[in-house]
Chain A
Amino acid sequence: METFLIGLIAATLRVATPLIFGTLGELFSERAGVLNLGIEGTMFLGAFVGFSVASLSGSLWLGFFAAVLAGMLSGVLMSLLTVRLGVNQHVSGLGITLLWTGISLFGFRLIFGEPSIPPSIDPFKALTPFGQTPVLGPIFEQHILTYVSLLLIPLVWWVIRRTRFGLDIRAVGENPEAADAAGLDVYRIRTLALMIGGGLMAAGGAFLSLAQLGAFTYGIIAGRGWVCIALIIFANWEAAGVLWGALIFGGVASLQLRLQTMGFKLPYELFLALPYLVTILALMIAGRNVSAPASLLKAYRRE
């Protein structure tokens, strides 16, 4: 029982990591007033760029930062469409997801061809801060990026709540007219928020290819971006909520996996569908009172 629990907790943290990155990325976008449905594609792009650069250069970190850079560029594209031009946010986001999915698969095929054994790299080594200590040892045997994601949560909270940049983001997401009247550059702030958000989303994707799998596959993201869209609502657009949401989702996902391998026959798909259904339920109960940023989905144009 103890090993089961320890394994479960360790796995939960692993599963939660890319979700924390992605949801924090979506938090920046949505707090600034842009629903970024490009998240699924941006995570996919991050996984691809991270893997390719790491594999070609031999440096995992170079791969990771290349992925973050690609994600930031994705944020710039999203900003160009939805902030500068004011194009419909849903359709732009879905278009960007499709674009990065296509480009990643295209690039992967060109770089690596179609080998019978999928190419792989040596992934990030797990850190063992507690060595072989019982309980704490195995629980905290995690990738460095998992630690980074956990540290990001208070950092994002601090940026949003305690810095002027965070205040600017909250202001342009809630009432761009007021922000404009106060002399803020709404376009610039939204663009920066989308860039940071894109970088975080791509980092989540890169975690999967560089740490968890050491490979890049067609189904590497498998809807995790959409999970983040659900989690951000569940988290009520707060950094702390992101942690709990990701841990609960990660916990349920790893539990079902563990029970399955132990031979329990479960409709595990039900567990996987649960976060989506819970989110819809939350939307239903909260109804109009969901505290989404008030200017989400609205392009700002000075009259």
Chain B
Amino acid sequence: MLAIQMQGIVKRFGSLLANDHVHFELAEGEIHALLGENGAGKTTLMRILYGLYRPDEGEIRVKGQSVVIRSPKDAIQAGIGMVTQHFTLVPTLTVAENVVLGGAGALLDPRRMQADVRAASQRYGIPVKPDALVRQLSVGEQQRVEILKALARNARVLILDEPTAVLVPQEVEVLFEALNRLRKEGLSVIFISHKLYEVMAVCDRITVLRDGRLVGTVEKSATNQTDLARMMVGRESFGVARQGERAQGEVLLRIENLSARGKKGLTALDNISLEVQAGEILGIAGVSGNGQSELSQVLEGMLKPSSGKVSVGGKDVTAASPGALAEAGVGRIPEDRHASVVAELSVAENLVLDQLEAFTRGGSLDRAAIRKNAEKLIGEYQIKAGPDDHTRTLSGGNMQKVLLARSLSRSPRVVIAAEPTRGLDVGATDYVRARLLEQRSRGAAVLLISEDLDEILALADRIAVIYEGRIMGVLGARDATVEQLGLMMSGTPLERLAETMEAGHA
């Protein structure tokens, strides 16, 4: 008996085809992995199933019955529950209160609520403390509360969106045990992931998506990590031409034993050491949420590291402010461009915001110079906007060009580019990449952090792979293969690469 059938699902976002006639089937009592790179369309497909998006085409059947799911409410009614990456819990309420939130009955009896939750917790093997406040719980415990919330609403199908992204290894074990218990109870679980070994550890079947299309569904027993990596990335080899050889240069950016904590207080960067030389691009590859954001924030001066050292051209800039970093010759292209320009200020004002002293004459702003600067940069960087336009009105690509113009026009020695082309159209993407290569040939040291492996391969001279805040190893881009990178991105260190690959082929 099939718990869920999704047939011919099409979802478009503007010109982007996020799901292209995808078929997906979920049996009762199975754990089914949905595997793919970022942007492969996994989450989109599941958001459709949970009623967060409406599909443009296609049909959904629950237990063979055709259904229309318009909202999460409909999904819950159809017995589908989803635990998203962004938890929806109220931190100051107890676990039990969170579980019953939105339920029926005018009065609350804490003892009965807690007993109910305790019973469910034991039945499904999901350990929680019913009377604890959610804010006192670890991320793993919070996730369990989310799962219990879905189960309390009688979910028979549970969607988990990258559930292990926020967990420490011990918590992953607990989660996997719970999933096995749910399977025994006859529930079905959809496990969205891009970590190969986890998928192999816990799932019965695996469906792989790539670029919004179905690659295939395979039984776990009929596949291995290497094959899955190939299905996921879909390239047999990387034939991207290097842009000329580069000479050994001076080390301009040096990162030594850097550690930092992320938003939730968890260790996000764990003892990272990297060097970037003049005239090279060092790419940081990795699956989203493995410390890339924190690394870029530390190097942009927006996050203070907990330990370690960062130096630029021999000068110590550890924990320097954003302004001091810019002064030290670091050009910064941030991950979140919308939060990095002042949307309600004009383009001209945003273009000088980081060096106002240089545009001050006799105590007042030199408005003529600011305007001239804007006109020059707008021309040079092909920004489609006037100097007086509010930055809010610009497209993502033009906003990115404003940030590029602001940082690159100061001829930085080190460039930190975090996801520089995310969300941009083809033209803007090519433009940004060309600018980064230009910085390389100019002799700057470029650190390119990108979840887009194609981008890393097209631009980088060397590739460092980051996994759970640690560097798995650094490869010359010329020698890297898909298997190597795929395995490193899912947690295999460079030195153990050979044995893992042998085991995979065996």
Contact surface of A with B, Cβ cutoff 8 Å: 161-168, 170-171, 174-175, 177-179, 181-184, 291, 293-294
Contact = CB atoms under 8 A, between A and B. Distances in A.
Nearest to A237: B92
Nearest to A183: B102
Contacts of B92: 170, 174, 291, 293-294
B339 to A, nearest CB: 16
Interface string B82-107: 00000111111100011011110111
A178 B98 CA distance: 9
Contact of B107 (A162, A174, A177, A183): A162
Interface residues of B, number: 22
Contact of A170 (B87, B90, B100, B107): B90
B134 to A, nearest CB: 10
Interface of B: 72-73, 87-93, 97-98, 100-103, 105-110, 149
13 contacts: A162-B109, A162-B110, A163-B106, A164-B103, A164-B107, A165-B106, A171-B90, A174-B93, A175-B89, A175-B90, A178-B98, A178-B101, A184-B101
Tell me the dominant secondary structure on chain A's binding face.
helix
Contacts of A181: 72, 88
B91 A167 contact: no
A294 B92 CA distance: 9
Given A166-B108, A177-B88, A178-B87, 9 more contacts: A164-B105, A167-B108, A168-B101, A170-B93, A175-B88, A178-B89, A183-B102, A291-B92, A294-B91
Contacts of A179: 90, 101-102
B102 A184 contact: yes
A182 B88 contact: yes
Nearest to A161: B108
A164 B106 contact: yes
A14 B90 CA distance: 38
Nearest to B71: A183
A167 B88 contact: no
Contacts of B103: 164
Contacts of A163: 106-108
A160 to B, nearest CB: 10
A236 B101 CA distance: 23
A177 B102 CA distance: 13
A97 B462 CA distance: 64
A171 B100 CA distance: 11
A227 to B, nearest CB: 26
- Considering the complex of A and B, which 7 residue pairs feature the smallest CB-CB distances, nearest first? A182-B102, A178-B88, A181-B88, A183-B102, A182-B101, A175-B90, A174-B90
A175 B91 CA distance: 8
A181 B102 CA distance: 9
Nearest to B149: A182
